Every structure is written in C-alpha cells, then in structure tokens.
Structure 1
C-alpha cells in the first residue's frame, strides 16, 4: 500500500466517522492543509507520528506484516465492517443453511 492509498483509506474512515478535516486537524495536531493533501494523494511524505495520530483520530490502526502476506478472513471481515460503516467485529456472522434433503425425484 502506498501513501496515496493510505490517504484514500483515511478519507473514507474520516467520512464514515462524520468528521471534517478541521475536526481531525484539531484532534491530531496535523494541519488541515496537510490532511487535504494526504487525502488527495498530493502529499509527498508524512512522518510516522503524524500518520499514527491521523489514523487514531478516525479509528484506524496501522498494521505491519511481512511482504507477500495473504489476506485472511479477519482482514476481509474488517474491511467489510468499514465499508458498511459498522465497527469491526460487531457484525453478526451467520452461516448459510443447507436446504433440507428431500426424497422427491428418487425411485
């Protein structure tokens, strides 16, 4: 994931949290103009402390994992929860039930 993709994920999380750029700036100590540049992919660099502060303000966390790591079911569920504006792990997991076996059509 590159900096522009992180900025887009941040923007989606900020909007899902119903926060303005200014509110996040006040919470994180990062200038609103830098937040705007981060979200639009025009910010050439952002320090780790500022990035973590921004992510914390909108409820995201940064996870380090080895290169080539394959997505897990937990990764997919977490992404789905963010997509549907629900906190991670609060969606109810359900299993599709198999239809009942019938004897119709058997000799």
Structure 2
C-alpha cells in the first residue's frame, strides 16, 4: 500500500466508525484540512507520528512487511480500471 492508499484506508475506517473529519482532527490536535489532505492524497509529508496517531485513534494497526514482486490486489484492481 502506498501513502495515498493509507489516506484512503484512514478515510474508509473513519467513516465506518461514524467519525467526522472535524471530530477526529480536533481529538488529535491538528487541522481538519491536514486530515482532509491526507485522506485525499494531496498531503504527502504529514509525518509518521501523525499517521501513527490516526491509526491508534481508529484502533488500526500499521504492519510493515517486505515488498513482494507479485502484484497486490489493489494494483490489479487499479490496472483493470485503467483498461
């Protein structure tokens, strides 16, 4: 998953839990525009600490893994959409 994918994952998780951008941003102590930019992929240099705080807030886990040479499910879906 790339950085933009992380933002989309946070957005989906936040919405599934019924949390507004404003509520989450207020609770975490940063601007709603920052959260919006991260979720939409417009902000790429948000900082790891903020990303980890968002994951913790949403009770998500971020697990690094070794990159594979095989395509991911997400990349196959994206490729199919572009055909």
Select the structure that is richer in helix. Answer: 2
Dislocated runs of 4+, deviation >6 Å? none
> What is the aligned residue count?
70
TM-score normalised by structure 2 residue count: 0.75
Q: 1:21-73: per-residue Cα shift (whole Å, max 9, x none)?
A: 11111222232110000111111212111000111112211111112298xxx
Unmatched 5+ residue regions in structure 1? 71-107
Q: Are residues 69 and 48 of structure 1, via their aligned partners in 2, closer, same or farther at CA, if it must alter by over 3 Å? A: farther
CA root-mean-square deviation = 1.7
Within a 5 Å distance, the mapping from 1:78-97 to structure 2 comes to none
Larger of the two Rg values belongs to structure = 1
TM-score normalised by structure 1 residue count: 0.60
